[in-house]
Structure 1
Amino acid sequence: MNPATHPKVILIAGASRGNGPATARHLAAQGHHLVLGGRGAQRLQGLVREIRQAGGSAEWYALDVNEPAQMREFLAFAEDVHKRIDVVINHA
């Protein structure tokens, strides 16, 4: 497999607003697995549902990026579930 096209585990903080949803849709369409974080739980749930219905892979995690402890928990969650984190994007 070409490393440039190997699916990555990508965390997006601030994924529920602004450029976050568009970034998530774009990366999911490229075949990457996304862990989406933000304060808008309902928006994140809807975005994950949309990505999955389109054949993508994503999950969400509620957090406030202004809280360092919550960011650490977000990273730990993704690392625990996926055993790695390839990219972190902060849209907050």
Structure 2
Amino acid sequence: MKTQGTPAGQWLTIASSPYFLVEKGVVAGPWALSTTPESFVILVVAEGEGSLKWNDGEIALRAGECFLLPATLGSYELNGNMTVLRSTLP
């Protein structure tokens, strides 16, 4: 599957099973997202750098880093210029 040319601000499914879903997203500026009560989110920064902001915090992101966002987190924002992989329960 070719994933080049994925538009910024959209998720492209790259793997799925009854147990997990893996998506690729391109961040090019602010992107408002949220977790759901049904699943945690694992974010892997594949390339680039930026930031992850949530209600009462913010952290810098760079290629190679991995983050586990709890299902209870709710709203968060990715910002910067980076490619991320997002894993969730289906």
TM-score (norm 1): 0.27
Query: Hey, which of these two has a bigger chunk of helix by percent?
Result: 1
TM-score (norm 2): 0.28
